[in-house]
Amino acid sequence: MNRYLYIQFYRNKAYIIALLFLLMAGLMAIYTGKKFLDRNEDIISKSGAFQKESIERNAKFHKDDLGLVLYYIKFNLVNETPKLAALNIGMRDLNPSIQGVTIRNLEEQRYNADFYNPANAAVGNFDFSFVIIFLFPLVIVAFCYNLISEEEEKGTWKLLSVQSGNLKKLLDHKMFIRLLAVTIVYLVLIIIASVWLKIPLDPFYIAFVMSGWLYILLWFTLCRWIISFRKTSAQNALILLIVWVGINFIIPMTSNILIQKFYPVHESLKAVMEQREGYHNKWDEAKRPTMEKFYKAYPQYRNFTVEENDAFTWTWYYAMQHMGDLESAKSSEQYTEKMQKRNQAATYLGYLLPNLHTQLTESHLAKSDMQNHLQYAASLKKFHERKRLFFYPLIFSGKNAESINWSQQTLAVFKFSSPVQWVQTFLPYFIFIALFMILSQYKFRKLC
Amino acid sequence: MAISNLQLMVRKTWQDLFKGKQNLLTTIAVLLFCLLSIGIGYTKYTDSFSKIKEYRKEVRESWEHRPDKHPHRMAHYGYLVFRIGHPLNIFDNGLDDYLGNVIFLEAHKQNTANLSEAGSSGTLVRFGAFSSAFILQSIVPLIILFLGFGLIVQERENATLKIISVQGTSGRDIIWGKILGLWLFSLCFLIPVIPVVFMAALFSETAHSADIILRLSFLLPAYMMYYFFICTLTVVVSANSKSTSSSLISLIGFWLLFIIVLPKGIQFTAQNIYPAPSRIAFETTLEKDILKSGDSHNPDDPHFKKIKDSLLAKYKVKTTNELPFNYSGLVMKEGEKISSQIYIRHQKELQTIYGKQQMLTDFSGLLNPAVAIKSFSMIATGTDFFAYNQFQKQAEEYRYKMAQHLNDLQIEQISNIKPENGGPPAVINKDNWEKFPDFQYRYTSVLDSMKQQPVPAAALILWMAVCVIAIEISGRKLKLI
């Protein structure tokens, strides 16, 4: 009997086409990821060369003026991109994976995003997570929506209930065949991705693969529950489609616009304005107060004095620059807090919406989420300070460009690592799956 | 007589659709969702507009209240310009979430527009923002096909189609009647939204009523055409299906294809056929080109050396300090001219790539009316990329004018000889600041936008023609049993 169920399934051309559609979409998504990684690697390697070139040129032009050399030179900090990011590009297309900063004030430079075509960004990336979250459920729905109703509509249900001893078992077997088929496609795609993109088999990747599969399983259990109400095929399809549209579009979109409204990020504009005033005003003010504030922040430079009627010194100049950061620090922090709040709100919502949860989890594992970006921004700030504090005493004491070992000034890499939080990641799936299983089990007992 | 049959058919379909309590509830729910999104959009828009207005004023005041200063210092103090979307973004968010809203303008450096809503949001933003346009473009079509998938196939299954035919209604009348009835019903989702959008846009006080009316007068017929397509598709598929469920399944398939798969697929193709450079690559080549054609910061640069020599010869002096005007101002002016030209050239290349990507999307409207209406809606509401580019252009023009104006002031009013330590500083009077006009952001005219991007509108009209042909064909071939 079971053998016939397999034959029945694989004879249906529509099912085979649906599986092939998933496979093709998945391959396209992996290709998108491959392109993304290649481009990213290209950008990073080129910027390393460019940094070297720029240092050489400036150190040659302005041999005797270290302050001027450092006015121009940008130091790049790379945000390490794991191979896994190819499968979930997340926000990495909007937030650059590498940023270059001079030792002038940071606020002016940190918001420079990478170039992107907003029309493309608005449509979103066709990455692997998109295929899992949006397209897999559709095929699952198409496979399952008429499992019972079709038999009823064709009039074979009665016959089946007479012939088969255990209808529930039969239905579960049908579902299992479908789950198996979808899982095989999923695994084939994962294997192709692993080999093609050379993704290391670490806990992150394992968690990633598992979350995707649990999401697939969750949709099967949801279908199992919906069809157990024994409505008509059209009604089942309608209900499942409404769920799909609801959780993929209506709820996240509504939440997004509400979050944007409740946490407006005006602080960013304010920070930009404050840093500009914070630095530029100092040209027209007395030098002492600026220097006092600077010494307060960095007491170790108190011995580099600036006289009120000195014409121009780099000490004063970089102290002024630093004022831009100091005076906008509060707004800048508030801006970061707002972003965190926005992100937090989405995470909470994710516990209720498995699709959102999957997107958030997978982008977290792939280090392409907001949290990673915020950590990177914090580390950029530290990087910037390290560079400043390294060069300040050299500039202030009037060293020339040749006294510095420039070969040490290579690309720096930020590595963000937080262990996989297994419980938080997988509990929402288990709860939903268990819930749908119990609900449908209850209904299934009363079959036929 | 044929006309009255058609009229009867339309009226019957329309009334049937209205009779269902479910349908009425759906209509009300959709309209409520639209009102909600307009309400949220309105407060969000006015919030950010009032903030930006405040910041604009602050920027202007700080500019005017600068003390006496060296013009070049002032050029680096620079200017901040802000963008605020067109008020119709309350209706169609378009690309606004992905566009930067502030640009810092300064001498010899072109900064980009930064701080987009998306850049400050988490992953959620990728699911899109809720807007009436989204409901009308994506959700309402889904509702239409649910309302209409059985319109003909069900009558055939119930054998009522034969009866209608026997009573003297031709297949043409049946199809046209069903489509027009469904279409009239679908307008119930659309028509009430328009006056609300008009009022909301008007109350935001950022655009003239004439402008809003003009834009809406493009928008309304475009959506009507789009719905005509959706209704035609629904009824024609219904007429050619064997059973109601197969009709529903194929219609859902079409919806997925038009709304999800094709748009993403086209975007994917566009990015791969016309890859765009990264920021770092762009800036690297830009800097290299500028260095090649003359680096005003390099004392040995051949281009500037030539200028210097010719000036010294013309004024018959030995050093630049003896020239009757400020020499470094002149160098700066020349440098600005060169670097701006190069920047604009590179910027244009980048825009051309984006433009090509957009072109592919626009042309895909010929395959997919959902993309056509999406692009057209963005164009009509001024939330498209072209409109945004005009902002960038205006900002760059203003920047160039500001930089060169300040260079001129330096050339004319600053002494050629560097002031001694402790002596009077080389500054000019602060009256000059007030004289320089404020930046005025002008919305891109909708007619300009349309002239630049005629494809989406053309695609919609073409689809109308395709619909009429499809109706005529399936009307003649309608199977009654």
Pick A311's closest partner by Cβ from B134, B278, B421: B421
Name A364's Cβ contacts closer than 8 Å, sequence gap at least 6: A371, A372
- Residue B252, pLDDT score: 84
Pick B118's closest partner by Cβ from A94, A98, A264: A94
- Whether B1 has a pLDDT exceeding 60, the answer reads no
Calpha distance A289→A220 (Å, rounded) = 68
Highest mean pLDDT, choosing among A50-64, A410-424, B179-193: B179-193
Q: Does B51 contact chain A (CB < 8 Å)? A: yes
**Percentage with pLDDT > 90 across chain B:** 20
Q: Tokens in use for A217?
A: 């399983």
The residue in chain B having the minimum alpha-carbon distance to the alpha carbon of residue A285 is: B67
More reliable by pLDDT, B459 or B327 = B459
DSSP H/E element including B232: helix B209-239
Highest mean pLDDT, choosing among B250-264, B361-375, B397-411: B361-375
Secondary structure letter of residue A403 according to DSSP: G
Q: Does B417 contact chain A (CB < 8 Å)? A: no
Pick B421's closest partner by Cβ from A113, A309, A363: A309
Q: Which residues of A touch B117 (CB under 8 A)?
A: 260, 265
- Residue B3, pLDDT score: 66
Q: Which residues of B touch A118 (CB under 8 A)?
A: 95, 98-99, 116, 385, 388
- Whether A24 has a pLDDT exceeding 60, the answer reads yes
Whole-angstrom distance between the N-terminal and C-terminal Cα of chain B?
A: 25
What are residue A79's phi and psi, to 5 degrees? -95, 105
Q: Under DSSP, is residue A187 helix (H, G, I), strand (E, B) or coil? A: helix
Mean pLDDT of the residues in chain B: 85
- Residue A235, pLDDT score: 82
Calpha distance A204→A368 (Å, rounded) = 13
Q: Does B22 contact chain A (CB < 8 Å)? A: no
- Whether B70 has a pLDDT exceeding 80, the answer reads yes
- Residue B96, pLDDT score: 84
Could B114 and A94 be called an inter-chain contact, meaning their C-beta atoms sit closer than 8 Å?
no
pLDDT in tens, B332-348: 888 788 888 888 888 88
Q: Yes or no: say if B269 and B360 are a contact pair by the CB < 8 Å rule.
A: yes
Could B388 and A118 be called an inter-chain contact, meaning their C-beta atoms sit closer than 8 Å?
yes
Name B371's Cβ contacts closer than 8 Å, sequence gap at least 6: B258, B262, B263, B266, B361, B362, B364, B365, B456
Calpha distance A118→A124 (Å, rounded) = 10
Q: Which amino acid is at A351?
A: Y
- Whether A186 has a pLDDT exceeding 90, the answer reads yes
Pick A265's closest partner by Cβ from B80, B120, B244: B120
Interval A115-121 mean pLDDT? 82
Question: What's the gap between Cα B386 and its chain centre?
Answer: 6
Q: Does B43 contact chain A (CB < 8 Å)? A: yes
Name B333's Cβ contacts closer than 8 Å, sequence gap at least 6: B404, B407, B408, B411
Q: Does B40 contact chain A (CB < 8 Å)? A: yes
Interval B165-190 mean pLDDT? 88
Q: Which residues of A touch B272 (CB under 8 A)?
A: 35
Could B37 and A257 be called an inter-chain contact, meaning their C-beta atoms sit closer than 8 Å?
yes
For B:262-281, CB contacts with A below 8 A are 263-265, 267-268, 270-272, 275-281
Q: Which amino acid is at A12?
A: N
- Whether A448 has a pLDDT exceeding 60, the answer reads no
- Whether B322 has a pLDDT exceeding 50, the answer reads yes
More reliable by pLDDT, B72 or A357 = A357
Q: Does B115 contact chain A (CB < 8 Å)? A: yes
Name B36's Cβ contacts closer than 8 Å, sequence gap at least 6: none
Say if residue B150 is exposed, middle or buried (CB neighbours under 10 Å; 0-12, 13-18, 19+). Answer: buried
B362: region left, alpha or beta (phi > 0 left; psi from -120 to 50 alpha): alpha
The residue in chain A having the minimum alpha-carbon distance to the alpha carbon of residue B419 is: A311
CB atoms < 10 A from the CB of B283, how many? 20
Q: Yes or no: say if B228 and B467 are a contact pair by the CB < 8 Å rule.
A: yes
Pairing of strands A412-414, B79-82: unpaired
The residue in chain A having the minimum alpha-carbon distance to the alpha carbon of residue B57 is: A273
Helices (H), A281-369: 287-297, 314-327, 329-352, 354-365
Interface confidence (ipTM) of the complex:
0.81
Q: Which residues of A touch B348 (CB under 8 A)?
A: none
Q: Which of these, B366, B368, B122, lies nearest to A360 by C-alpha position?
A: B122
Interval B209-225 mean pLDDT? 92
In DSSP notation, A199-210 reads ----HHHHHHHH
Pick B69's closest partner by Cβ from A146, A284, A310: A284
Whole-angstrom distance between the N-terminal and C-terminal Cα of chain A?
A: 19
- Residue B9, pLDDT score: 84
- Residue B424, pLDDT score: 63
Pairing of strands A75-79, A412-414: parallel
**Percentage with pLDDT > 70 across chain A:** 99
- Residue A122, pLDDT score: 82
Helices (H), B93-170: 132-134, 140-148, 153-157, 160-166
Question: What's the gap between Cα A288 and its chain centre?
Answer: 46
A9-23, A105-119, B435-449: which has the minimum mean pLDDT? A105-119
Q: Which residues of B touch A100 (CB under 8 A)?
A: 280
pLDDT in tens, A60-74: 888 888 888 888 888
Could B104 and A276 be called an inter-chain contact, meaning their C-beta atoms sit closer than 8 Å?
yes
Interval B173-186 mean pLDDT? 91
Could B123 and A284 be called an inter-chain contact, meaning their C-beta atoms sit closer than 8 Å?
no
Q: Which residues of A touch B279 (CB under 8 A)?
A: 96, 112-115
Q: Which of these, A28, A263, A275, lies nearest to B47 by C-alpha position?
A: A263
B115: region left, alpha or beta (phi > 0 left; psi from -120 to 50 alpha): left
Q: Tokens in use for B376?
A: 């057209």
pLDDT in tens, A307-350: 877 778 888 889 888 888 888 889 889 989 988 998 888 889 88
- Residue B99, pLDDT score: 84
Q: Tokens in use for A146?
A: 């008429």
Pick A254's closest partner by Cβ from B58, B130, B268: B130
- Residue A436, pLDDT score: 93
Using CA of residue B396, residue B118, residue B130, residue B356, what is the dihedral sign? positive
Residue A358 to chain B, least CA–CA distance (Å)? 11
Whole-model pTM: value is 0.86
Calpha distance A297→A282 (Å, rounded) = 17
Interval B298-303 mean pLDDT? 68
Q: Which residues of A touch B102 (CB under 8 A)?
A: 269, 272
Beta-strand (E) ranges in B287-423? none
Q: Which residues of B touch A310 (CB under 8 A)?
A: 421
Q: Tokens in use for B224?
A: 């009507």
Task: Identify the residue whose tokens are 């196939």.
Answer: B153
B271-280, B421-430, B449-458: which has the minimum mean pLDDT? B421-430
pLDDT in tens, B112-138: 777 778 777 777 888 877 889 999 999
pLDDT grade, residue A150 (50/70/90)? confident
Could A272 and B102 be called an inter-chain contact, meaning their C-beta atoms sit closer than 8 Å?
yes
Q: Under DSSP, is residue B340 helix (H, G, I), strand (E, B) or coil? A: helix
- Residue A128, pLDDT score: 93
pLDDT in tens, B405-425: 888 888 887 777 666 665 567
Q: Yes or no: say if B181 and B14 are a contact pair by the CB < 8 Å rule.
A: yes
pLDDT grade, residue B300 (50/70/90)? low
For B:193-252, CB contacts with A below 8 A are 244-245, 248-249, 252
DSSP H/E element including A167: helix A167-197
Q: Which residues of A touch B374 (CB under 8 A)?
A: none
